[in-house]
Chains A and B, each alone.
Chain A
Amino acid sequence: MTPGPRVSPAARRLLLAAGVFGPAVLLEVGLDRFVADSSVRQLVMTAAINVMIAASLNVINGMAGQFSIGHAGFVGLGAYAAAIVASHLHLALGGGDPTFAHSLVVVPAAVAAGAAVASLAGVLVGLPSLRLKGDYLAIVTLGFAEMFRLVLTSVPLDAKSGVAGAIAKLGGQIGYSGASGQGVPLYAGPLWVFGAASLIVVATWRIKFSGWGRALRALREDEIAASAVGVDPTRYKVTSFVIAAFGAGVAGALSAIMRDGIGIVQPDQFDFRLSFDAITMVILGGSGSITGAVVGALFVTFTVKLIELAQGLDAVRLFQSEHAWLDLNALRMVLYASVLIALMIRRPEGLFGEREPLFARKPRGAAPAGAA
């Protein structure tokens, strides 16, 4: 990519693997030791999870040019599935404190469950994308996400049998805190969270810089012309939905069982605000740009944290006690929405457009679209 000594493909792969898993392993070993404050650890891991959410939404909203405003639904499905699997496995393994050895079994199983359930939903939500465009599709995705949330919250908790009974076990509005009610076991350490985030970023990168990414862009520009040269809209659109849902499912799964997490999954964690945050992450950085999605995710994570910190300040508390209207979260949303509107009017392509600013590549000739 960068001019310099040629590196052999094998060495390159090795470098990439080191780049992907090195930091994850280092953080697994070092994070607890060097960062004493668990809220900071939580913040760093949340950032990684938001990166997964943004990178996966970018596949639909950026690359494929569809518009999903219900990404929270996929994340939520992943979280619930993973929480259920993890807590049952935890009991089967004898309970106690989550150990690293057990996490080697529990985390892959829980993440796989989350990703599988979310992917399945991705197929279901992706299918309408064949008939519906733009606004209408957006509404279907929103409808799906809201249905997921509303089903969980509106089921009567005293229901004992059938589907309603099964859903009632998930705790309704209060949330699901494990099979025993003692909290979802928090197995996923930095290794898993950062490893998965890196993998998802690399995977979406490779999709973007391949025939697949090209075909998606072509479909986005002109569906009729693209299908006239053999790009089947059905296959590409549904698959991009599944890929995005898969990524969101992994993110949700890891957020549910993340070490230093809160040990409970609640429907309201996955309401429209999360979908809107995800859209903000993608649009801010530039739809289609993976670098942009990562930057957007980090930006959103840290502004949320800043608000949280501000709310803890004595001065702010004092001010709030006198001015009850000051809802900092509402203020944050006002800020995001204003930025988003201004961006759409002034610079709809976002910060980077579709570019990857740190990884400018030679357009043609040289290496066939990124061996990275």
Chain B
Amino acid sequence: MSALTLGSVGITFGGLRAVSDVSFEVPAGSIFGLIGPNGAGKTTLFNLVTGVYRPTSGTIRFGDVDLVGKKPAAIAAAGVARTFQNIRLFGQLSVLDNVLVACETTRTTGLGGALGRTRAFADDEGAMRARALELLRVFDLEGVADEQPTSLSYGNQRRLEIARAMMLRPRLLLLDEPAAGMNYGEAEGLKAQIRWLRDEFRLTVVLVEHNMQVVMGVCEELHVLDHGETIAHGTPEAIKRHPKVLAAYLGEEELAPGDLELAAP
């Protein structure tokens, strides 16, 4: 059973093909890596899956749900959560409120409840709050719950984005360069957290990442893009030795297989 299925997905921007004919399946419950050099179309692919862009061709299925043509909010409500490469937190909301924003799709009371301040509304809000605090605890952020996200360290901001995404109760989590700007120790922590999230919430995780320490450490399957096209697909072990991948990453020079391992202890 695959959690996410892409069939010949392509998109063009004003005549420029950003992604063309990309197909892959992400097995349910796996941690799946999407890698490739800068400008390979990885983030564009995330934007296609989450409905920010509409593909010019191809199909995108989340389980049995067709995602093409759905609006971002509807896709989020269906259970696909994401983080952003260039962190997009709500700067003027507290850390806790940043997480709470993501409860709108799962809450049971609407505007009427809020206006009447009904008991159901209070219970709902209380439950959401408890859950948000729990998530902050998981990501070691409960101490800064009342602060503004802009005052957090880079690593903490990235973790807060993941916490916010998890508030949606997603079944598929898309992480866009979660290890960017993290040091060795933080990246090791992130690896453990990603695995823990997957196991605890029975998630499927897709990550775009340049940090090979993280990619090779947690991903069970990799898909490699270059210039918007698929160049390889397989296990981390196989990808490490794939000649096309090496060429794409390191240029045309001949390099010994295994050079990528320098970055992946």
Tell me if A212 and B114 are in contact (CB < 8 A). yes
Whether A231 sits at the interface, judged by CB under 8 Å, is yes
Q: Tell me which of A13, A221, A233 contacts B91 (CB under 8 A).
A: A221
Tell me if A211 and B122 are in contact (CB < 8 A). no
Q: How extensive is the interface on chain B, given as a class? A: 35 or more
Tell me if A206 and B77 are in contact (CB < 8 A). no
Q: How far is the CB of B209 from chain A (nearest CB, A)?
A: 19
Chain A residues near B88: list those with CB within 8 A: 222, 224-225, 228
Tell me if A363 and B93 are in contact (CB < 8 A). no
Whether A215 sits at the interface, judged by CB under 8 Å, is yes
The answer for the CA separation of A20 and B181 in the assembled complex, in Å, is: 53
Can you list, as one digit per residue, whether each of A113-135 has a CB less than 8 Å from chain B (1) or not (0)? 00000000000000000000000
The answer for the CA separation of A221 and B90 in the assembled complex, in Å, is: 6
The answer for the CA separation of A227 and B102 in the assembled complex, in Å, is: 9
Chain A residues near B133: list those with CB within 8 A: 364
Can you list, as one digit per residue, whether each of A228-250 has a CB less than 8 Å from chain B (1) or not (0)? 11111110000100000000000
User: Within residues 45 to 73 of chain B, which ones have a CB less than 8 A from any CB in chain A?
Assistant: 50, 52, 71-73
Whether A147 sits at the interface, judged by CB under 8 Å, is no
Tell me if A231 and B81 are in contact (CB < 8 A). no
User: Within residues 77 to 101 of chain B, which ones have a CB less than 8 A from any CB in chain A?
Assistant: 77, 81-82, 84, 88-94, 96-98, 100-101
The answer for the CA separation of A354 and B101 in the assembled complex, in Å, is: 18
Tell me if B93 and A230 are in contact (CB < 8 A). no
Chain A residues near B146: list those with CB within 8 A: 363-364
Q: How far is the CB of A21 from chain B (nearest CB, A)?
A: 16
Interface centre among B71, B82, B100, B165 (most CB of A within 10 A): B100
Whether A5 sits at the interface, judged by CB under 8 Å, is no
Q: Tell me which of A225, A230, A239 contacts B89 (CB under 8 A).
A: A225
Spot the interface stretch: B18-26, B123-131, B200-208, B252-260.
B123-131
Chain A residues near B93: list those with CB within 8 A: 214, 217-218, 221
Chain A residues near B89: list those with CB within 8 A: 222, 225
User: Within residues 9 to 60 of chain A, which ones have a CB less than 8 A from any CB in chain B?
Assistant: 9, 13
Chain A residues near B247: list those with CB within 8 A: none
Whether A210 sits at the interface, judged by CB under 8 Å, is yes
Tell me if B111 and A230 are in contact (CB < 8 A). no
Whether A371 sits at the interface, judged by CB under 8 Å, is yes
Can you list, as one digit per residue, whether each of A351-371 has a CB less than 8 Å from chain B (1) or not (0)? 000100000000110001111
The answer for the CA separation of A253 and B164 in the assembled complex, in Å, is: 43
Q: Tell me which of B90, B107, B111 contacts A225 (CB under 8 A).
A: B90
Q: How far is the CB of A91 from chain B (nearest CB, A)?
A: 35
Q: Tell me which of B96, B122, B128 contacts A364 (CB under 8 A).
A: B96
Tell me if A368 and B129 are in contact (CB < 8 A). yes
Whether A207 sits at the interface, judged by CB under 8 Å, is yes
Chain B residues near A109: list those with CB within 8 A: none
The answer for the CA separation of A211 and B132 in the assembled complex, in Å, is: 13
Q: A211-B125, A215-B104 are in contact. Are A230 and B73 (CB under 8 A)?
A: yes
Chain B residues in the interface with A (C-beta under 8 A): 50, 52, 71-74, 76-77, 81-82, 84, 88-94, 96-98, 100-105, 107, 111, 114-115, 117, 119, 121-122, 125-126, 128-129, 133, 145-146, 164-165, 167-168
Chain A residues in the interface with B (C-beta under 8 A): 9, 13, 203, 206-207, 210-212, 214-215, 217-218, 221-222, 224-234, 239, 354, 363-364, 368-372
8 examples of A-B residue contacts, CB within 8 angstroms: A214-B93, A214-B97, A215-B101, A228-B50, A228-B88, A229-B165, A229-B168, A368-B126
* 20 other A-B residue contacts (CB within 8 Å) besides A210-B114, A211-B104: A13-B117, A203-B115, A214-B97, A218-B98, A218-B101, A221-B90, A222-B90, A224-B52, A224-B88, A227-B73, A228-B76, A228-B88, A229-B102, A229-B105, A229-B167, A230-B77, A230-B168, A233-B73, A239-B111, A368-B129
